[in-house]
Amino acid sequence: MAPTSLRHLPLRRQRPAAGEQGAALILELLVGIVVLATAVATAASISVVTNRSTRTGHGLTEMETRIDTDLAQMRQWAELYTWCAGFGTTSSTRVNASPTCKSKSSANSSYYYPDNPPPGNPTAAQALRTFNAACNDGTTTQFNQPLITFLNIVPRPSGVTREVISDDNRAKRLRITYTAAVPNSTKGIQRVVVLTPTVAAWCPSSP
């Protein structure tokens, strides 16, 4: 007998069971949720850092502006400081009341010291001697002490500390130190400025 021919029947692919399909779908969903949550958390973290950096920048600018404004005021008082009455003062009332202050304007040299006292006027002569002595005293703060005392009681900007001391008695120079904390930052501001009152320019040369 002729051999019976064998027909090759196609193999049927087995379809995954319903339970396996469900598990795979759940796994895909979980992976998607994790990826999405990670992306959201990363974006939120970047946003927080950016906002914090922005707030710190604004706080730094605000404090620097307050210091700049206060320093401009300090310089103005240093320009108005005078010895024309025979003692150091920033008071316009005392300047206006003093007979030895020939000028009431800081644009004139006679505003700063008793300029050329008239003969026979002991008050003006004594005021000039006192001014010269203070100018030539390079060992104490006598010349600038009234100004230092006054500047240290001028109201300070909010959040800013200011200290005014003598930097160099002989040069009649002051040192102003500002410190301030910056909101939303662990860093702070420290600025040191030296300035010399205008009246020091009218001191005679030391003997």
The pLDDT value recorded for residue 24 is 62
Domain assignment present for 94:
yes
Q: pLDDT digit string (tens) for 48-71? A: 544 445 545 677 888 899 999 999
Question: Is residue 97 one of the residues assigned to a domain?
Answer: yes
Supply the pLDDT for residue 21.
60
Higher pLDDT, 131 or 122: 131
- Taking the CA atoms of residue 133, residue 136, residue 138 and residue 140 in that order, the dihedral angle to the nearest 10 degrees is 10
In a domain, residue 141? The reply is: yes
Mean pLDDT of 97-123: 83
Confidence of residue 37 (pLDDT cuts 50, 70, 90): low
- Residue 6: pLDDT above 60? no
pTM of the predicted protein model = 0.70
Domain annotation covers residue 91:
yes
pLDDT above 70 coverage of the chain, percent: 71
Q: What confidence tens digit (pLDDT) does each residue in 169-199 have?
A: 999 999 999 999 887 767 789 999 999 999 9
Question: Does 89 map to a domain?
Answer: yes
Across 6-35, average pLDDT: 60
pLDDT of 207 strictly over 50: no
Tell me the residue range of the domain where 154 lies: 70-202
Q: Per the structure, how many domains does the chain have?
A: 1
Q: Between these two residues, 22 and 101, which has the higher pLDDT value? A: 101
Q: Is residue 151 part of a domain?
A: yes
198 in a structural domain: yes
